[in-house]
Amino acid sequence: MSTFVTLSTGQKMPVVGLGTWKSAPGQVKQAVLAALDCGYRHIDCAAAYSNEREVGEALALRVGPGRALQREEVFVTSKLWNTKHEPEDVEEACRTSLAHLGLTYLDLYLMHWPMAFEPGKELMPRREDGSICYSDTHYRHTWAAMEGLLDKGLVKAIGLSNFNARQTDDIIGMARHKPVVNQVECHPYLSQAALLSHCRSVAVCVTAYSPLGSGDRPWASPDEPSLLEDPRLGAIAQRYHKTLAQVVLRIQQNLEVFDFSLTEHDMKLIDSFNRSERFIVPSVERDGKKVWRDAGHLHFPFHDSY
């Protein structure tokens, strides 16, 4: 797989990466091994996925001296979780991910969300009523601590995830090391055209997560639309003798996306499917109504239109 995007640091990031969210214990190791063996060179991890040790076991079998791949051939991303936003917690969090992954550096380290949670060992610190315990630590202070990771050589680049355009600009305005990536939910039902355009204008690469709509997300409800069952996308896929998933990715199955191109007409047609509908925002039921769990957080990113 030789298709890359060049980041503002000059690094080449493989266009297609293997995401490890929702990969169950006992399965993620095999998934990473299979991915590396069939040509994936970008593995996307996060402390919050609670499976970095197992990802590390797979990397140890394939990457490094005497293995099939050299370290510089594989691009590894991880993310700083919300409970580690206090500046004094950032380096330890990064070093923990490195230890679990068995690496001496990360190619890219992202702030998973702009929202800080109360520090501690619990991934989701909760009150007795089940609500999340937030912290008002500003993401700018967290970013300044992340810049120190770059200075120490623990990471090659730093970036953002789930930041809106205003928050991205906020970081750029104070950064010594500018963010190279903003990883956000992006698929035909949420095309993110305005955010894409904005990030492009400030040299921040947008990475799409859950490009297939993540139908197995924990808070999905049965009445929500399924991207992979959309007959309009199915018709386009049939025309190219590809799977619907390959058409959505536009670009073994996910890697077989470089041998065809969609016409401009098809791209416009897919763009017209946009519903501005977010799937990957944790939701809860309050007073019989489904609402975004963290909408009350000071730095919740999705009150802005993009």
Which residues are catalytically annotated? 49
75, β-bridge pairs: 42
What residues have CB less than 8 Å from 124, skipping those under 6 apart?
A: 117, 132
Burial 178-215 (b: 16+ CB within 10 A, else e): bbbbbbbbbbbbbbbeebbebbeeeebbbbbbbbbbbe
CA distances from 184 to 44, 110, 143, 221, 226 (A): 13, 11, 18, 21, 19
Residue 126 is given by DSSP the state B
Residue whose C-alpha is closest to residue 303's, from 130, 198, 163, 186: 163
C-beta neighbour count of 92 within 10 angstroms: 9
What residues have CB less than 8 Å from 120, skipping those under 6 apart?
A: 83
What residues have CB less than 8 Å from 21, skipping those under 6 apart?
A: 46, 49, 209
14, β-bridge pairs: 4
Residue type (1 letter), 164: N
> Does 112 carry a binding-site annotation?
yes
Residues within the annotated binding site?
A: 112
Residues within the annotated binding site for substrate?
A: 112
